[in-house]
Amino acid sequence: MESKELGKIAKVRFGFGGYQDAQFGVGFELGGKGWGVSDFWGMWATRSSNCEWTEQDQNAEWGSALRQLIALMQEAKVTDVAKLQGVPVEAVFVDRGLVSWRVLTEVL
């Protein structure tokens, strides 16, 4: 079952995060009345010799995350990642799992 919730970006940080803080990218804490969720855009920070992805894969993931961040900042009309805090969002959940979210540009 799909549901939509209104809230804001409660916290944003650029650096280590994601799974066991072993990834590098941008992390978000989103929340509203009675709900909260985290989202992370990035890639593993280090590569072991027996992993199944290449350095090029890593670079592609980081590039994709930065392009997403640029688009998000442009939508939110901010020039600094820290200024994303407090920006209104709409989050979409399916069976209580976050599937997407967006800046509520119509209220900016």
What per-residue confidence (pLDDT) applies to 99?
Answer: 98
pLDDT values of the chain reduced to their tens digit, one per residue, 108 residues:
999 999 999 999 999 999 999 999 999 999 999 999 999 999 999 999 999 999 999 999 999 999 999 999 999 999 999 999 999 999 999 999 999 999 999 999
Q: How far apart are CA 23 and CA 43, in angstroms?
A: 5
With a CB cutoff of 8 Å and minimum separation 6, the contacts of 79 are: 73
With a CB cutoff of 8 Å and minimum separation 6, the contacts of 92 are: 2, 3, 4, 98, 99, 100, 101
What per-residue confidence (pLDDT) applies to 69?
Answer: 98
Q: Is 52 exposed, middle or buried (0-12, 13-18, 19+ CB in 10 A)?
A: exposed
What per-residue confidence (pLDDT) applies to 92?
Answer: 98
Q: Domain segments of the chain: what residues?
A: 2-107
Confirm if 93 and 2 have CB atoms less than 8 A apart.
yes
Q: How far apart are CA 74 and CA 103, in angstroms?
A: 10
